[in-house]
Amino acid sequence: MPFANLKVPAGTLTPESKKILIDAVTDAYGKVYGDQARQNALVIVEEVADGGWGLGGNVLTAEMLGRH
């Protein structure tokens, strides 16, 4: 079963945009592995709390990313 775990900053996606991401990843698996994979693709969208990101040893916040 194809599996994708997408991590995004909390509060940055609407339910509609999450659906778009899930559909896009599912479609990509289907294009690569065929329709059987599309039917069994598991896609998880996880929202990471503010301050739960790190890049190069630095904690990133919404304020630092210009989303305050």
pLDDT exceeds cutoff 60 at 61: yes
pLDDT for 4-33, tens place per residue?
Answer: 999 998 888 999 999 999 999 999 999 999
In the predicted model, what is the mean pLDDT of residues 49-67?
84
**Strand ranges in the chain using DSSP code E only, listed in sequence order:** 3-9, 42-48, 53-55, 58-60
pLDDT score of 68: 55
User: 4 vs 14, 29, 45, CA distance in Å?
Assistant: 19, 10, 8
In this predicted structure, which of 14-18, 25-29, 44-48, 57-61 has the lowest mean pLDDT?
57-61
DSSP 40: H
Judge whether 34 lies within some domain: yes
Q: Bigger pLDDT: 61 or 18?
A: 18
Q: Side chain identity at 19, as an amino acid letter?
A: K
Judge whether 43 lies within some domain: yes
Judge whether 66 lies within some domain: no
Judge whether 18 lies within some domain: yes
d(CA 5, CA 41): 11
Q: Side chain identity at 12, as an amino acid letter?
A: T
Judge whether 68 lies within some domain: no
Say if residues 59 and 21 touch (Cβ distance below 8 Å): no
Number of domains within the chain:
1
Residue 47 sits in a domain whose CATH number is 3.30.429.10
